[in-house]
Amino acid sequence: MKQITIIGCGVVGAAIAYELSLSPGFRVTVIDQAAAGQGATAAALGVAMAVISHKVKGRNWRLREASLHRYRSLIPELETLTGQAIQHNTQGILSLCFDAEDLPRWRSLQDIRQRQGYRLELWQPEVVCDRCPHLNLDRVAAAIYSPQDFQINPTELTQALVAGARANGVEFHFGQPVVGFDGADPAPDSRVCGAVHTASQSLTTDAIVISAGLGTLPLTQTLHQPVAVGPVLGQALRIHLDTPLGQSDFQPVVNGNDIHLVPLGEGDYWVGATVEFPPETSLDEALAMQPEAERLEAVLAGAIAYCPAIAQGTVTQRWLGLRPRPQGQAAPVIQPLAGYSNIWLATGHYRNGVLLAPATALAVRDALERLG
C-alpha cells in the first residue's frame, strides 16, 4: 500500500482524502495546522456555478463538469456513510441579466449547453416575476435559470468528507503545522521527498499532496520550488427575515451583478461576497488587515437593489475570508511540484474551491494511481 500524506484539510484536502480512501491502494494521512475547514472554506458560500458559467471547453469546463457529476453521487454517498445531513440546495441558480446587450452571449451559451446535454432557460421578466415575486425587475432585461447548478454548505460538506474518510481508515492530525520535509535540499534532478515534519512528529511517506491553500507558498519555498498563491479578500453576511422571500416551493440561489443571495431556510440568507485584491499584500499583512465595512455595505445595497425586501432583515453575522489565488497561472493548480517526482499540488482554487473540490480529488487520485 502506498502511504499518501495530504497537507491541508480545507474542502479540497478533505475531498482528496475521501476520494483516496475509496481506493484500496492507498493509506492516507491528513495534516492541518488548524481544525478541518478553518481556512477559506469557512468563509465560502458554496455556490457551484458549472452549467451557468461561461467556461464551455478546456480544462476549466472539464473540471466543472466532472465536479457536477461527482457531486450527484457524493452527497447521498456521504450522507449514508456518516448519517449526517449536508445542507444543500438543488433548486438551481437564477442569474439576473441587467443589460439586453448580454443576451446574445447567454443565448449562445444556452445552445452550447443544449449540445452538451445541459439545460439553461432564458426567462423574460414576466416569468421571473411569476416564479420569484420578491425580485425587483425594474432594470432586469431577462434572467438565466440553471436548474442543474446548486449550492452546498461548505463547512458541513468538509465535516462529512472528514467523517467519511475517517470511517474508511484515513488518519487526521489537526493543530500541527507542517514545518519541513526530508529530501528538500536544492538539487538539479528529480527528487523524492520521503518524510513530512511537524513540530511534534515526522511521518514517512511515499507521496505528498499539498492542498494548503494560502499555505502553499511557504511550504513550496521550503521545498525550493516556490509556487505563489496570494490572498483575495472576500466579505459576506447572513441576514434573517421574519417572512421568507418568494415562493416556499421555489428557492433558487439568485445572482445579480456577481452578488449571491443564498437561501438557507427559515428566513435565513447568505449575501456576498466582495472580491478585494489587497495590492502588494503579503499573507501576514492580509491576515492583519481590518476589512472595509463600506465594501460589504455596497454588496448588501446591491442585493437590496434587486431584492428590496432584504432591507427589512436583520444582519446576524458578518465574516471575511481569504481566497487562495495563484499568481502567474490559472486557477486551480493541480499538477506535480516541479523538481519532485512524488509531490502533487492541489491548490489555488480561488473563487471555486467548493465547486471544484470533487473534480480535483478525482484528478489527484488518477495521478497518484499512475505513479505506480
Query: Residues in the site for ligand FAD, rule: CB under 6 A?
Result: 7-13, 31-34, 38-41, 43-47, 177-178, 211-215, 219, 234, 236, 272-273, 321, 323-324, 347, 349-355
* 340 vs 350 by CB, closer to ligand FAD: 350
The 3-state DSSP class for residue 224 equals coil
Least CB distance from residue 320 to ligand FAD, whole Å? 7
* 142 vs 153 by CB, closer to ligand FAD: 153
Least CB distance from residue 97 to ligand FAD, whole Å? 20
Least CB distance from residue 341 to ligand FAD, whole Å? 21
What are the CA-CA distances from residue 365 to residues 32, 176, 208 (Å)?
A: 20, 24, 12
CB of 136 closer than 8 Å to CB of 254: no
CB of 27 closer than 8 Å to CB of 17: no
In terms of Cα–Cα distance, which of 245, 243, 221, 209 is closest to 342?
A: 209
* 137 vs 174 by CB, closer to ligand FAD: 174
DSSP E strands in the chain: the ranges are 2-7, 26-31, 47-48, 88-89, 93-97, 121-123, 142-146, 150-152, 171-173, 178-181, 195-198, 202-204, 207-210, 229-240, 253-256, 259-265, 268-272, 314-326, 333-336, 343-347
Q: Which residue is nearest to ligand FAD (CB)?
A: 215
* 211 vs 281 by CB, closer to ligand FAD: 211
In terms of Cα–Cα distance, which of 306, 368, 315 is closest to 342?
A: 368
Least CB distance from residue 42 to ligand FAD, whole Å? 7
What's at 213, amino acid-wise?
G
Least CB distance from residue 61 to ligand FAD, whole Å? 15
Q: What CA–CA distance (Å, rounded) separates 6 from 21?
A: 12
The three three-digit cell numbers of residue 226, written as one number: 516556490
What's at 288, amino acid-wise?
A
The three three-digit cell numbers of residue 198, written as one number: 511537524
CB of 321 closer than 8 Å to CB of 44: yes
* 273 vs 310 by CB, closer to ligand FAD: 273
User: Measured between alpha carbons, how far apart are the two ends of the chain, in Å?
Assistant: 10
Least CB distance from residue 78 to ligand FAD, whole Å? 16
* 40 vs 184 by CB, closer to ligand FAD: 40
Least CB distance from residue 181 to ligand FAD, whole Å? 11
* 262 vs 307 by CB, closer to ligand FAD: 262
Least CB distance from residue 60 to ligand FAD, whole Å? 13
* 142 vs 211 by CB, closer to ligand FAD: 211
